[in-house]
Amino acid sequence: MKKFKILMKLTPFLYSLFILVGLIMAMLSVLDHNVQIFCLSLFLILQSVLALTYTKLFKKIWQK
C-alpha cells in the first residue's frame, strides 16, 4: 500500500517528462522532415495524456 502511494505521487512527474520528450521529438522530426519519428512522438504524447487521465480517475476511485 505504501509503495502504491509513492508510485501515485511520482506518476504525474513521469508523464509530464514523457510529454516534454514527445514535444521535443516532434519539433526535431519536423526540422529533419522525418514523418515516422513525428508520428511516434505524437503517439508518445497521446499515450502519456491517456495514462495521466486514467491515473487521476483511478486516484479519485481509490480515495472513495
Residue with C-alpha cell 502504491? Answer: 4
**In the chain, how many domains are there?**
1
* Predicted TM-score (pTM) above 0.85: no
pLDDT tens-place values along the chain, 64 residues long: 777 778 778 888 888 899 999 999 999 999 999 999 999 999 999 999 998 888 888 877 777 6
Host domain of residue 28: 14-54
Residue 4 lies in a domain: no
- Residue 7 maps to a domain: no
Distance CA 61, CA 8 (A): 13
24 domain residue, yes or no: yes
Alpha helices for the chain (secondary structure H): 2-32, 35-63
